[in-house]
Amino acid sequence: MKWFGRKAGRALARPGLARGVAIGEWPRSYEAQVREGYCLNAIAQRAVRMVAEGVGSAPLTASDPGLAALVRARSSGQVLTETVAAHLLLHGNAYVQLLGDGLGGVGELFALRPERVAVEADANGWPVAYRYRVAERVVRIAAEDEGGRPQIVHLKGFHPLDDHYGLGCLGAAAGAIAIHNAAAKWNKALLDNAARPSGALVHESPDGSVLSSDQFERLREEMEAGFAGAANAGRPMLLEGGLKWQAMSLTPADMDFVGLKAAAAREIALAFGVPPMLLGLPGDNSYANYREANRAVWRQTILPLAGSVLASLEQALRGWDAGAALAVDVDRIAALAEDRERLWAQVSAADFLSDPEKRAMLGVVATTDTASSAGGR
């Protein structure tokens, strides 16, 4: 039975697809959300960079050295797997364009900015092309060339309400990011105002008179010049003429901004799959030590994401080379060395297994001489 390959009637057997209702403002307000959630938030930026750089630095094993070099090559300065991982985390979609080398092969892999790409579907809703828009210029890229080989790889996170576009992590973390940014602005405002909450000068005159316009303006100017800003922190205030200072807001201790900001930071880290301990957040004791947290982020976040990216690239590249294969070389990941060492010790202690069986369990390919000697025994 033939499991793979194109079938003439496949398009007729497919059900129709439709664009669902997007959650939040994807992808129209993507730029604004990235500015608030990634460019201006240290926790979100560090979490995304930690995962994306881990995917980009993961050692590869490929069916051909040229294929590994193709995936590792920098295109316009970008690291392909790292860029794709960041796009998936933030936007939920990643698009990789396969550029031919003119000799029947792939010469370059380039990651397109996802907010510029729109899916063009056929009558049944299945993608047949992608439109890439830069300002007023629109380039149409067919999903496949004349020979049926893929020209675009579309990777997307699972979106329960949309058939064409994926869902990123940034939307789920938007609330926590807003709280974290608001707490940072609050602290900055306190420093700008001598680290004191806002209040009011109350004029209490025995005869019930009020301040004139000139008196009010002079008092306001003196307050701004003499008591506002960090340079005037702790400066005593001299009140006269029936003026009395009255605080009008709660203190930071009452509002518990420190705990609120830390809780928001942990929620941001959770949305991107990073243990808060790795981001230096206090009060998180989910892992016994830093090494356990580092292994957890590799096992639970980086490796699954890297495997998904490489599997998608491999499937597309097989349209150009049927023998193309890509995977993460887990044995060469330094963060997982202890796990590998423990597995080797357990397999080595299993006396009921033969040497070839042990090698198979460890993923070690036996050489010709080793296999011959094993057969002789």
CA–CA gap between residue 368 and residue 371 (Å, rounded)? 5
Nearest to 91 by CA among 29, 49, 24, 30: 30
* Mean pLDDT value across residues 351-358: 79
Q: Between residues 11 and 347, which one has the greater pLDDT? A: 347
Better-scored residue on pLDDT, 222 or 181: 181
β-pair type (60-62, 326-328):
antiparallel
Tokens found for residue 84: 């794709």
List phi, psi (to 5°) of 273: 75, 30
**What type of residue sits at position 294?**
N
Where b means 16+ CB within 10 Å and e means fewer, 311-350 reads: ebbbebbbbbbeebebbbebeebeebeeeeeeeeeeeeee
Residue 1's pLDDT is what? 35
What is the per-residue pLDDT across 130-180, written as a single tens digit (0 to 9) for each? 999 998 899 999 988 888 889 999 999 988 888 889 988 988 888 899 888
Percent of the chain with pLDDT over 70: 71
One-letter amino acid identity for 266? Answer: R
In 3D space, the residue among 212, 237, 243 whose CA is nearest the CA of residue 225 turns out to be 237
Instruction: Report the Cα 141 to chain-centroid distance in Å.
Output: 26
pLDDT tens, position by position, 7-61 = 445 555 556 555 544 444 333 578 888 888 899 999 999 999 999 999 999 999 9
**Dihedral pair phi/psi, residue 357, rounded to 5°:** -70, -40
pLDDT tier for residue 208 given thresholds of 50, 70 and 90: low
Strand partners, 278: none
Asked whether residue 368 carries a pLDDT value surpassing 90, the answer given is no
Helices 174-192 and 257-271, packing angle to 10 deg: 150
Any idea what DSSP says for residue 105?
S
Distance CA 289, CA 350 (A): 30
Q: Count each helix (H run) and each strand (E run) in the chain, helices first.
A: 14, 12
* pLDDT tens string 62-81: 988 999 999 999 888 889 99
CB 295 within 8 A of CB 338: yes
pLDDT of res. 21: 44
Average of per-residue pLDDT values in the chain: 78
